[in-house]
Amino acid sequence: MAGRGEEQMQMKAIHYAAAAALALAIGLMGCGGATVASQEQGGKATVTKRAFGKTADGTPVDLYTLSNANGFEAAITNYGGIIVSIKTPDRDGKLGDVVLGFDNLDGYLGNHPFFGALIGRYGNRIAKGRFTLDGQVYKLAVNDGANSLHGGIKGFDKVVWQAREINSPDGPSLELKYLSKDGEEGYPGNLSVTVVYTVTADNSLKIDYKATTDKATPVNLTNHAYYNLAGQGDVLGHELKLFASRFTPTDAGLIPTGELRSVKGTPFDFTTLTPIGARINADDEQLKRAGGYDHNFVLDSGGGKLAQAAEVYEPTTGRVMDVYTTEPGVQFYTGNFLDGTIKGKGGRVYAKRSGLCLETQHFPDSPNHPEFPSTILKPGVEYHTTTVYRFSAR
């Protein structure tokens, strides 16, 4: 079913491809490309670009807004590949921003919990910041207690990516490229990464991740957007369904023990739509360790093909977010470490549990768990995963 869904997205956007090709032919999509536009279903699918600020060393940063004919839009910056906003209609057709973050680049340059960020080389934790590969021990940058988290001290979320607007058959797209050099944050190999964000005709944000390497290395790319489909308040009233009958319990350091535990009869059973707050404060050791949900769920699809991973429904606005991925896991996180000290968009204070994350991924600490699906990318092989966040209302 997921394969057919992806094909439908392509068919729905075929008129965009024709129009974009025509725009290319007449020079509207030149390399200067401040704006790309095409006709789509009587409206316009566009990519717009504007200056977003500069990094501390003076490197200019841009913000790209991808929009479809329905008014659905996603704004992404080439600093860290960060999703700055996603605007999608509620059941009354009112557009609202459903992503936590900041109004300007300065907010993202400061300390924040990976709002909207593109994560690499390795999403999630690697125990004690080390792993052994082909008989050699690699020591990584440690930034989460004794562990390495989300790529280290300066992961992919803190670099300026090379960006260009591209002619995609699915809709308006932004291509980001980055070369992670051998030894960066302790990882082996020169890793060439390409990530493409696409807004499709059916109000989806599609993310394609690709990478190649000249030396065997762990790779686990994801996006760390925090979603609140109501646009304000906490997410405890959001209802969640996860297409996962097992999860990976963790030790006190939030590192997987290696067990794949059934969710049946536990607070981790989201196999039917369930309010996130229904059991989040249950007397459960796993919940207490993480201060809520911060766990990897083992998707029943097994990965390798595009399949549904999650459904989120927000009752007051009617907004729905369906998540599809080729990955074998998804990290469900409820913003447990948000504490009200960060002020975001419009001065909004981000309190505990004011956003949720659904980070599609391979399992945490996989390089140290040979029983988990492998995250080792070898020379001559292309890493390629796809995740789709599809928005609607009911």
Can you give the pLDDT of all 394 residues of the chain as single tens digits? 444 344 344 433 433 333 333 333 323 333 333 444 433 334 789 999 999 999 999 999 999 999 999 999 999 999 999 999 999 999 999 999 999 999 999 999 999 999 999 999 999 999 999 999 999 999 999 999 999 999 999 999 999 999 999 978 999 999 999 999 999 999 999 999 999 999 999 999 999 999 999 999 999 999 999 999 999 999 999 999 999 999 999 999 999 999 999 999 999 999 999 999 999 999 999 999 999 999 999 999 999 999 999 999 999 999 999 999 999 999 999 999 999 999 999 999 999 999 999 999 999 999 999 999 999 999 999 999 999 999 999 9
Alpha carbon distance 100, 86 (integer Å)? 9
Alpha carbon distance 344, 323 (integer Å)? 25
**Alpha carbon distances (Å) from 201 to 14, 307, 350:** 10, 19, 31
Residue 87, classed as helix, strand or coil, is strand
Q: What is the pLDDT of residue 22?
A: 31
Please, are residues 99 and 226 in contact by the beta-carbon 8 Å criterion?
A: yes
Place of tokens 């329905």: 70
118: tokens are 């593109």
Pairing of strands 274-275, 73-77: unpaired
- Report the alpha-carbon angle 103-154-214, nearest 5: 125
Q: What is the pLDDT of residue 32?
A: 34
Domain range enclosing 173: 2-393
**Domain CATH number, residue 206:** 2.70.98.10
Pairing of strands 136-139, 130-133: antiparallel
Nearest to 82 by CA among 67, 68, 102, 97: 102
- Whole-model pTM? 0.89
E strand segments, 190-336: 191-199, 204-213, 217-218, 222-223, 239-242, 244-248, 261-262, 274-275, 294-299, 307-313, 319-325, 329-333
**Which residues are designated catalytic?**
224, 359
Per the structure, the count of domains in the chain is: 1
Question: Could you tell me how far CA 322 lies from the centroid of its own chain?
Answer: 13
Per DSSP, what are the bridge partners of residue 386? 208
Alpha carbon distance 321, 308 (integer Å)? 11
